[in-house]
Amino acid sequence: MEPHAIVSRDQWLVARQALLAKEKELTRLRDRLSAERRALPWVKVEKAYVFDAVDGRKTLADLFAGRSQLVVDHFMLGPGWKEGCLGCSFGADHIEGGLVHLEHHDVSFAAVSRAPLAEIEAYRRRMGWRFAWVSSHGSDFNVDYHVSFTRDDLARGKVYYNYAMIDAGLEELPGLSVFYRDPGGDIFHTYSSYARGNEELLTTYMVLDLTPKGRDETGPGRNLTDWVRRHDEYEAAGAASCCGG
């Protein structure tokens, strides 16, 4: 950590008030951006998606669980993976505490992965998560929402992700999609974000950003793989892997 200036309380207050003005500017900008996000046009979901769940087959409408809004976590867990993606697992830990609040504010949450249900359930039991988590194995859902890529996609060297063509790498990438179901039962896709677009959901990062050392990601990855572990791995030595493939 770089050395910091040591000043009097009065000098500190001057610097803090200058930063506060910028913080307020960012808050107002976030409010405007959120309003613009809500004002985006919607796309009607015409395809009938069906998922495997612990209590049987479920449609996309079923995932709303009687509410009008649904947030889907495109959780990176592909068929045959030994464990879920490190970053997705880190994100999932932040959802658990908020579930009761979301559900009482007309929002349902579900994770969707391409792994078969038995593999999802094995990892969910290990992690102890309670949120709905279904399998899109055999469905076009992940491909249609640009978070899973076929062998042909990868062979071409470029895939469409985060609204741009990028170099192909992994068969699965993270994302988050939002849907609305109207009183007549029609479902609309309202929003999707990818990569760092969902970072504000990670309250650990938001707290670290307040601290003197910040995120302190100084290892070879220069990202969360430098220090984050699955919550049952912190006592184990060794480097973290991003994905469980």
Strand-strand pairing, 175-181 and 69-74: antiparallel
pLDDT of residue 71: 98
Distance CA 116, CA 218 (A): 36
Instruction: Give the list of residues 6+ apart from residue 79 with CB closer than 8 angstroms, or none.
Output: 114, 115, 116, 119, 137
What band does 3 get if pLDDT is binned at 50, 70 and 90? Answer: confident
Distance CA 233, CA 93 (A): 13
Counting residues of the chain whose pLDDT is more than 90, the rounded percentage is: 92
Distance CA 202, CA 94 (A): 6
The answer, yes or no, to whether residue 10 has pLDDT greater than 80, is yes
pLDDT of residue 23: 98
State the DSSP H helix or E strand holding residue 9, giving kind and residue range, or none if neither.
helix 9-38
The answer, yes or no, to whether residue 245 has pLDDT greater than 80, is no
pLDDT in tens, 74-94: 999 999 999 999 999 999 999
More confident residue, 243 or 80: 80
Q: What is the mean pLDDT of residues 219-232?
A: 94
The answer, yes or no, to whether residue 244 has pLDDT greater than 90, is no
Question: What are the structural domains of the chain?
Answer: 43-199 (3.40.30.10)
Mean pLDDT, the chain, as a whole number?
95
Q: What is the mean pLDDT of residues 15-44?
A: 98
Q: With contact defined as beta carbons under 8 Å apart, do 181 and 27 qualify? A: no
What band does 240 get if pLDDT is binned at 50, 70 and 90? Answer: low
pLDDT of residue 243: 75
What band does 69 get if pLDDT is binned at 50, 70 and 90? Answer: very high
C-alpha distances (whole Å) from 215 to each of 31, 94, 206, 225, 232 are 25, 16, 9, 12, 21
